[in-house]
Amino acid sequence: MKQLEGKVVVITGGCGLLGGKFCRAVLQAGGRVAVADIDLSQAESFAESLQSEFGRESACAVKCDITEKESLLSAIAETERAMGAINALVNSAYPRNKHYGRSFFDVEYEDFCGNLSLHLGGYFLASQQFARHFVQRGGGSIVNIASIYGVTAPRFDIYQGTTMTMPVEYAAIKSALIHLTRYMAKYLRGTGVKVNAISPGGIADGQPEAFLQAYAEYCSEKGMLDPDDICGALVFLLSDASRYINGGNLIVDDGFCL
């Protein structure tokens, strides 16, 4: 079943760990995708690989910096020239500065504020500009990628014995993003624009085995998830099957938050 037949979806961070899988999931569901990434050459290369698999008209590449208004407006215009009317935006970019991820007491004020500006501010700006465009066009859908750590407090014990931590900036960003999603859903009521979020659990990406085992102790079956495990929720929220879901936050975490 092609749940996204005829839909054009812009995916920011389209070359990323999640974004790349999201692009493929949209195409497998019958939609078409604009790979929107700050690295245009990488986006073009990825879009070409998608075209070779799904057809020439299936994908395009656009340069997009979610922290720059003009870049977002250009991405919207370029996508519509290449693919026609846009139906949805998926915010999956992960902008951060070089000091991101330090331990709590090592985080400088400037870096904390800077990372909130890049990530949360970027999601706000992208959502704002696409929402304005969707209102003018009679409707659309926005899906923000949040996190379980926007829903629940960190489980710091799973990081013991590793050099990893749960960045304080991440908790602040993702919790605020969930509420921003609700705010926009309510503000845009009656415009035909719906705004939802997905909060994934941890995504496997080469983490130490000790961490993976400790994480899995809190889960029901699998533990750390693969990017593909999030795609079903995304396709659902982009499809007409979720028509009356607005301001929602779908948690996909294998029971980690329980």
The DSSP bridge partners found for residue 88 are: 9, 141
Strand locations in the chain (E): 8-12, 32-37, 59-63, 88-91, 140-145, 193-200, 249-252
Active-site pick, 170, 183, 187, 215: 170
Rounded Cα–Cα distance for residues 50 and 31 (Å): 12
How many residues does this entry show for the chain? 258
Q: In this structure, are residues 177 and 150 in contact, taking their beta carbons and an 8 Å threshold? A: yes
Rounded Cα–Cα distance for residues 85 and 254 (Å): 36
Rounded Cα–Cα distance for residues 225 and 207 (Å): 12
Q: Which long-range contacts (CB under 8 A, 24 or more apart) does 169-173 make?
A: 169/96, 169/100, 169/107, 169/111, 169/112, 169/115, 169/116, 169/119, 172/112, 172/116, 172/120, 173/115, 173/116, 173/119, 173/120
Q: In this structure, are residues 50 and 32 in contact, taking their beta carbons and an 8 Å threshold? A: no
Q: Is 170 a catalytic residue?
A: yes
Write out the H or E segment, with its range, that includes residue 50.
helix 40-54
Neighbours of 124 (CB within 10 A): 20
Neighbours of 116 (CB within 10 A): 15
Q: Catalytic site residues? A: 170
